[in-house]
């Protein structure tokens, strides 16, 4: 009986010490340290429906290789489930990048149409498709960053992830590259021979604006700059401008790190309590901490459309 008590007490002490040390790490200011950032790319490319898929894939991989960076790819199975599609994914793994899970069908987990059972089976389906890829890692990036609109779905899926050895695939910096990509393709179609500099500048300004916004949130919540993970997609705009994106962050003094190193930041082990769950981990934690006037990240029509319209892009 005594032994039981003393074991329990020492376990309690250890648990409390662990909690204390984790909290300390979270709030430890990184004085004089540069901001650090890792690159992540969602969705993957579909060579069946996109004839330039292979070209875009090569451009992105070449830019990463020239800059000596390691990134992480989160393919959605439905886009890459063909011999040609899977071979594009394999190129990432062979080049030393991580490949992880973005579910097969890219369902919105905050939609009432998507059930927990369905979402779990869709995640398993993508794992089956990709688990033998070089670079495969058990990390989950939620489609649209939507992590469930009810407690039952949110926590049910979190329990499944933990039980199956999945680690966080969260982002700290959410951006609207998908929207800029849409506009870029439309602009390109109308200006096939024009210098793309005005578009490049607008896009870089957008990414810089988003990065500094989320970094400021990190400072407000934790009094330090967390190790950032930026959300990008395997799209034409990044095939065109990735070298410029990398050069811009470096010119501002930010340091590139691998996704593996970024995910060591204790922030990614936190499970935010809000509902609906999801978005950037920093956004979710800012909301949980009661920060006011948070810009809702997905409203590109409100924020980005007027900017690009004004520039005639």
Q: How far is CA 67 from CA 73, 117, 250, 255, 304, in A?
A: 17, 41, 10, 12, 29
Q: Which is nearer to Zn ion, 129 or 221 (CB)?
A: 129
- CA dist 47 and 43 (Å) reads 13
Stretch that binds Zn ion, among 10-18, 35-43, 221-229, 242-250 (CB under 5 A): 35-43
Contacts (Cβ under 8 Å, ≥6 apart) of 271: 158
Q: Which is nearer to Zn ion, 35 or 234 (CB)?
A: 234
Looking up tokens 């790490």, which residue turns up?
25
Q: Which is nearer to Zn ion, 49 or 289 (CB)?
A: 49
Stretch that binds Zn ion, among 3-11, 34-42, 268-276, 289-297 (CB under 5 A): 34-42
Shortest distance, CB of residue 11 to Zn ion, whole angstroms? 41
Q: Which is nearer to Zn ion, 136 or 144 (CB)?
A: 144
Q: Which is nearer to Zn ion, 41 or 283 (CB)?
A: 41
Shortest distance, CB of residue 266 to Zn ion, whole angstroms? 26
Nearest Cα neighbor of 304 from 239, 250, 240, 237 is 237
Q: Which is nearer to Zn ion, 43 or 265 (CB)?
A: 43
DSSP letters of 68-128?
Answer: T---EEEE-HHHH-SHHHHHHHHHHHHTT-EEEE--SS---TTSTTS-HHHHHHHHHHHHH
Shortest distance, CB of residue 269 to Zn ion, whole angstroms? 23
Shortest distance, CB of residue 278 to Zn ion, whole angstroms? 12
Q: Which is nearer to Zn ion, 254 or 283 (CB)?
A: 283
- CA dist 47 and 84 (Å) reads 6
Q: Is the peptide bond before 276 cis (omega within 30 degrees of 0)?
A: yes
Shortest distance, CB of residue 172 to Zn ion, whole angstroms? 17
Stretch that binds Zn ion, among 37-45, 207-215, 221-229, 287-295 (CB under 5 A): 37-45
Looking at residues 39 to 78 of the shown chain, list those that interact with Zn ion (rule: CB under 5 A). 42-43
Q: Which is nearer to Zn ion, 26 or 88 (CB)?
A: 88
- CA dist 100 and 277 (Å) reads 21
Q: Which is nearer to Zn ion, 47 or 143 (CB)?
A: 143
Shortest distance, CB of residue 103 to Zn ion, whole angstroms? 9
Shortest distance, CB of residue 43 to Zn ion, whole angstroms? 5
- CA dist 243 and 35 (Å) reads 19
Please identify the residue of the shown chain whose CB is closest to the bound Zn ion.
42
Each residue 127-166 as x (binds Zn ion by CB under 5 A) or -, in order, gives: ----------------x-----------------------
Contacts (Cβ under 8 Å, ≥6 apart) of 128: none
Under the binding rule (CB under 5 A), the answer on residue 279 touching Zn ion is: no
Asked if 77 and 128 count as a contact pair (C-beta separation under 8 A), the reply is no
Shortest distance, CB of residue 233 to Zn ion, whole angstroms? 7
Nearest Cα neighbor of 299 from 204, 176, 201 is 176
Shortest distance, CB of residue 142 to Zn ion, whole angstroms? 9
Length of the chain: 313
- Would you tell me which residues interact with Zn ion (CB under 5 A)? 42-43, 143
């Amino acid at each position: 009986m005594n032994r039981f008590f003393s074991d329990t007490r020492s376990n309690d002490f250890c648990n409390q010490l662990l909690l204390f040390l984790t909290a300390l790490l979270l709030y430890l200011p990184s004085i004089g340290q540069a901001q650090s950032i890792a690159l992540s790319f969602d969705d993957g490319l579909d060579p069946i429906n996109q004839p330039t898929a292979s070209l875009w894939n090569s451009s992105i991989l070449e830019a990463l290789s020239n800059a000596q960076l390691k990134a992480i790819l989160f393919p959605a199975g439905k886009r890459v489930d063909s011999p040609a599609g899977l071979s594009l994914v394999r190129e990432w793994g062979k080049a030393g990048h991580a490949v992880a899970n973005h579910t097969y069908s890219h369902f919105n987990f905050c939609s009432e149409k998507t059930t927990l059972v369905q979402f779990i089976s869709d995640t398993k389906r993508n794992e089956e498709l990709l688990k033998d890829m070089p670079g495969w890692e058990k990390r989950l990036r939620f489609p649209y960053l939507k992590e469930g609109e009810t407690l039952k779905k949110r926590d049910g899926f979190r329990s499944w992830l933990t039980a199956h050895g999945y680690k966080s695939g969260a982002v700290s910096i959410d951006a609207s590259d998908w929207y800029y990509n849409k506009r870029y393709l439309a602009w390109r179609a109308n200006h096939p021979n024009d210098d793309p500099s005005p578009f490049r500048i607008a896009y870089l300004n957008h990414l810089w604006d988003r990065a500094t916004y989320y970094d400021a949130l990190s400072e407000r919540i934790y009094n330090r700059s967390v190790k950032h993970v930026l959300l990008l997609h395997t799209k034409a705009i990044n095939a065109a401008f990735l070298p410029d994106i990398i050069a811009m962050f470096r010119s501002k003094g930010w340091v590139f790190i691998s996704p593996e190193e970024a995910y060591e930041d204790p922030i990614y082990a936190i499970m935010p309590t809000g509902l609906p769950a999801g978005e950037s981990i920093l956004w979710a934690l800012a909301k949980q901490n009661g920060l006011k006037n948070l810009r809702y990240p997905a409203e590109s029509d409100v924020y980005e459309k007027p900017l690009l319209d004004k520039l005639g892009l």
